[in-house]
């Protein structure tokens, strides 16, 4: 193929650099670099006779794929096998740090339960097939499909994977791209866009003297935790910043707070407005710039009104306002527990109003700018897409659906009816590393290469004022010859639909190699194409900059409902934890064995219950309780502690998978998402994850023990320590031991 036959505008679009007025020296490009050439010049550790010293490890840069944060990593490779991962110090996202999920990526790579061959449904069973059979069946089912009848659900996606995916959707004429993430900050993004004109503002913890967080677990699962943990360390240096955390159950961030306030789910917005009232009425701060209706709303939340609405002590409310005023500049955040209601938008908007009143906009909340290449920009997931897809599937709108980077059958509450609705889609294709609840319903399963075996480019959803494209490169040869990289699969599918546009690319590596040879010259600093590519691989990233922008406060009106749910009912809090994330890592033994940051529980689920509530129900730690909602019930063991609101029972996410997921996740714990009601935030359509009322009762006792690291009062039958009564010891002088 001669690339000079393609229109320059179309070629730039294919390469991902379109839409920015890029200047190229010419469109006659060199011959594509093949994978074999790539092995020789790029991943040289695969040629041990020339480059590898036995017993000596070499570090290579890549990108972590364990969560949407997009952290840069270095992989230590010795004799052709990757042995250790650490953070890439050059990455602005994680600055050399790597969390336990990133470390456990090696267990996903070497996991014996990985899918090793394509599978096609024959009758009621999935059977092994060849790639030619799988590609042929997909091509047959999509050959004459109407664009409106095709859908693709992915997790958060960016970079050249996003470019190719959009190209495939365009080849079919479909705009049905559903991007799903259970753990997200979608409501914060919507409020920020509406009130500031930027959906992803930069949060400067390092400039703040005080932080008020309404359920934003920025050290655990909210936003970009490793980036925020670095800025948090600066926030805690002299003069030491003050952290106030308001949430229904304690998170990792809450455990580090100077003041932790237990809130009933749904009352966060009322508390924010009450604090705003104190800042205006007692400390003389201005409400200018806010709409008149919002100013009236703030005036209505007097101290007495706020105490009634939230149950928080009046002195505490006043103290929080005083701290924010005195310890300026401050920053106010709102996360999962604040957004997880039918009025979640209003709760988050109330928190943003505090930032406006406190004068934080432009100081501790800045513009992040706009990523320069729109087609590669990150597309962040949410739960609204899950709701929309479920409704469309129930209405039989799709004939073909693809799924990649998601397990919606597990993450969707049963009340959505997604599992039943999938039966309405005649042909389903799942791209996956492992068998899970969604692959079990597929007609074709395509086995993916691991993150340590694949090529890719990624743009982190949260970057601190930079525009880094992070490179993902293989750290070793594939463990199976029958797995394929995501980019390679999509490129092959595209060739079957638009061969003339993509026939010149032997594989995804060749596509990326050409993409970086056509990047606008200002990013190359005068280097040749080969040297530039080698430099990017060595660094693991390239900063292409951002379009500068500034924040401007907009007059957004909102109200706050006076009635915020049934105050006499218990509320289920499906809290996220660093580790299992949304359940995708429950098949990794390292993370099963790693103690929870709060409860120290391992290999199981648990329900967090306040001591006063436990006494009322009549249960003690380790007892089994039944949690029943209008949508179902789960039985789980109790962990009793004071870091949870008395009206809340919190069951962390991640466990409760079907047996097909993994030998390590089989029959472990419960899935708290499964019994949630199908309520949504009225403004954004996001699932209201913290709004399900439940009834909690004592369940039948079992022989199972709640195992906690360093906290168990039983040896679980292991006889690690033998004991002897004191009187027997004295009588036998220690010679007659009794077990």
pLDDT the model gives residue 504: 86
Is the distance from CB of 15 to CB of 515 less than 8 angstroms? yes
| CA distance linking residue 310 with residue 320, whole number of Å | 14
| Assigned CATH topology for domain 119-182+373-447 | Rossmann fold (3.40.50)
Where do runs of H (alpha helix) occur along 25-154?
Answer: 35-41, 48-51, 100-103, 105-109, 131-142
Alpha helices (H) along 483-617: 486-495, 499-502, 508-517, 529-539, 589-593, 611-617
What residues are paired with 76 via a beta bridge?
59, 84
Distance CA 676, CA 651 (A): 12
Domain with CATH 3.40.50.740 in the chain: 119-182+373-447
Yes or no: is domain 3-113+451-480+508-547 CATH 3.30.200.210?
Answer: yes
- CATH 2.40.40.20 in the chain: give the residue spans: 570-698
pLDDT tens-digit readout, 379-438? 999 999 999 999 999 999 999 999 999 999 999 999 999 999 999 999 999 999 999 999
**404: nearest Cα among 630, 663, 223, 162:** 162
Q: What is the pLDDT of residue 62?
A: 96
- What is the structure's pLDDT at 555? 82
Instruction: Classify each residue of 232-255 as buried b or exposed e, where b means 16 or more C-beta atoms within 10 Å of its C-beta.
Output: beebeeeeebbbbbbbbbbbbbbe
CA dist 574 and 606 (Å) reads 11
- pLDDT at position 33 is 31
- Predicted local confidence at residue 498, as pLDDT: 83
Q: How high is the pLDDT of residue 40?
A: 36
The two tokens of residue 647 are 């009206």
Give yes or no for a contact between 425 and 685, defined as CB atoms under 8 angstroms apart: no
Q: Which residue has the tokens 């709004």?
A: 691
Which residues, 6+ apart, have CB-to-CB distance to 678 below 8 Å?
387, 413, 415, 416, 631, 687
Chosen CATH of 186-366 out of 3.40.30.10, 3.40.1350.10, 3.40.228.10, 3.40.1190.20: 3.40.228.10
Q: Which CATH class is domain 570-698?
A: mainly beta
Burial class (CB in 10 A: 0-12, 13-18, 19+), 442: buried
Residue with tokens 């009106």: 557
Residue/partner pairs of 45-49 with CB below 8 Å, 24 or more apart: 45/77, 45/80, 46/80, 46/476, 46/477, 48/79, 48/80
CA dihedral 638, 640, 641, 642 (to 10 degrees): 100
Q: How many helices (H) and strands (E) does the chain have?
A: 26, 27
Q: In which element (H, E) is residue 402 found?
A: strand 400-404
By DSSP bridging, strand 541-543 and strand 546-547 are unpaired
Task: Identify the pLDDT of residue 700.
Answer: 86
**Has this prediction a pTM greater than 0.85?**
yes
571 sits in the region (left: phi over 0; alpha: psi -120 to 50; else beta) called beta
* 465 neighbors 138 (Cβ within 8 angstroms): no
Low-confidence ranges of the chain (pLDDT < 70): 1-52, 563-567, 711-718, 732-739
Structure tokens at 10: 């179309």
The answer to whether 599 and 638 have CB atoms below 8 angstroms apart is no
Strands 624-629 and 692-698: antiparallel
């Amino acid at each position: 193929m001669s690339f000079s036959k393609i229109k320059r505008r179309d070629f730039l679009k294919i390469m991902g650099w379109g839409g920015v007025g890029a200047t190229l020296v010419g469109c006659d490009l060199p011959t594509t670099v093949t994978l074999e050439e790539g092995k020789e010049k790029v991943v040289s550790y695969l040629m041990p006779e020339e480059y590898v010293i036995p017993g000596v490890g070499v570090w290579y840069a890549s990108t972590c794929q364990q969560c949407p944060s997009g952290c840069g990593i270095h992989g230590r490779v010795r004799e052709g096998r990757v042995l250790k991962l650490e953070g890439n110090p050059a990455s602005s996202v994680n600055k050399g740090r790597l969390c336990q999920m990133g470390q456990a990526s090696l267990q996903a790579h070497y996991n014996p339960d990985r899918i090793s061959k394509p599978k096609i449904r024959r009758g009621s069973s999935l059977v092994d097939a060849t790639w030619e059979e799988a590609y042929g069946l997909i091509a047959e089912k999509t050959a004459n499909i109407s664009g409106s009848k095709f859908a693709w659900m992915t997790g958060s996606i960016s970079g050249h994977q996003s470019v190719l995916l959009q190209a495939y959707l365009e080849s079919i004429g479909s705009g049905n791209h559903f991007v799903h993430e259970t753990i997200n900050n979608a409501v914060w993004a919507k409020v920020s866009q509406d009130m500031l004109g930027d959906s992803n503002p930069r949060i400067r913890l390092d400039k703040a003297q005080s932080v008020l967080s309404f359920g934003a677990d920025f050290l655990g699962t909210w936003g970009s935790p490793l980036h925020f943990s670095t800025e948090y360390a600066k926030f805690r240096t002299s003069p030491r910043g003050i952290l106030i955390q308001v949430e229904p159950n304690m998170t990792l961030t809450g455990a580090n707070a100077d003041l932790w306030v237990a809130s009933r789910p749904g009352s966060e917005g009322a508390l924010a407005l009450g604090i705003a009232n104190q800042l205006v009425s007692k400390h003389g701060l201005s409400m200018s710039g806010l709409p008149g209706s919002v100013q009236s709303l703030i005036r209505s939340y007097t101290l007495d009104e706020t105490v009634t609405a939230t149950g928080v002590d009046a002195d505490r409310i006043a103290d929080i306002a005083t701290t924010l005023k005195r310890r300026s500049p401050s920053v106010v955040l709102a996360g999962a527990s604040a957004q997880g209601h039918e009025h979640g938008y209003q709760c988050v908007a109330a928190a943003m109003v505090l930032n406006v009143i406190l004068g934080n906009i432009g100081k501790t909340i800045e513009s992040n700018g706009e990523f320069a290449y729109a087609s590669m920009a990150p597309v962040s997931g949410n739960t609204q897409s899950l709701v929309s897809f479920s409704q469309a599937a129930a209405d039989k709108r799709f004939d073909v659906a693809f799924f990649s980077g998601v397990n919606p059958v597990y993450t969707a509450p049963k009340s959505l009816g997604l599992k039943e609705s999938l039966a309405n889609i005649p042909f389903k294709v799942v791209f996956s590393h492992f068998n899970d609840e969604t692959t079990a319903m597929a007609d074709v399963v395509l086995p993916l290469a691991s993150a340590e075996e694949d090529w890719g480019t990624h743009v982190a959803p949260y970057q601190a004022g930079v525009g880094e494209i992070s490179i993902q490169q293989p750290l070793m040869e594939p463990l199976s010859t029958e797995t394929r990289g995501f980019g390679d699969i999509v490129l092959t599918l595209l060739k079957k639909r638009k061969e003339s546009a993509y026939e010149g690319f032997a594989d995804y590596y060749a596509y990326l190699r050409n993409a970086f040879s056509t990047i606008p010259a200002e990013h190359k600093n005068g280097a040749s194409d080969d040297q530039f590519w080698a430099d990017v691989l060595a660094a693991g990233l390239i900063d292409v900059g951002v379009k500068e922008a500034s924040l401007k406060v907009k007059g957004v009106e909102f109200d706050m409902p006076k009635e915020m749910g049934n105050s006499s009912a218990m509320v289920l809090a499906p809290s996220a934890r660093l580790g299992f994330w949304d359940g995708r890592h429950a098949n990794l033994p390292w993370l099963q064995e790693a103690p929870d940051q709060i409860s120290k529980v391992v290999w199981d689920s648990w329900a967090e219950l306040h001591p006063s509530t436990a006494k009322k129900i009549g249960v003690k730690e380790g007892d089994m309780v039944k949690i029943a909602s209008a949508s179902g019930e789960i039985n789980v063991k109790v962990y009793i502690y004071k870091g949870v609101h008395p009206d809340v029972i919190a069951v962390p996410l991640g466990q409760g998978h079907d047996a097909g997921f993994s030998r390590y996740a089989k029959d472990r714990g419960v899935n708290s998402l499964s019994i949630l009601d199908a309520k949504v935030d009225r403004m954004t359509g996001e699932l209201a994850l913290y709004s399900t009322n439940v009834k909690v009762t004592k369940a039948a006792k079992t022989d199972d023990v709640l195992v906690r690291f360093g906290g168990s009062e039983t040896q679980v039958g292991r006889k690690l320590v033998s004991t002897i009564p004191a009187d027997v010891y004295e009588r036998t002088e220690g010679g007659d031991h009794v077990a």
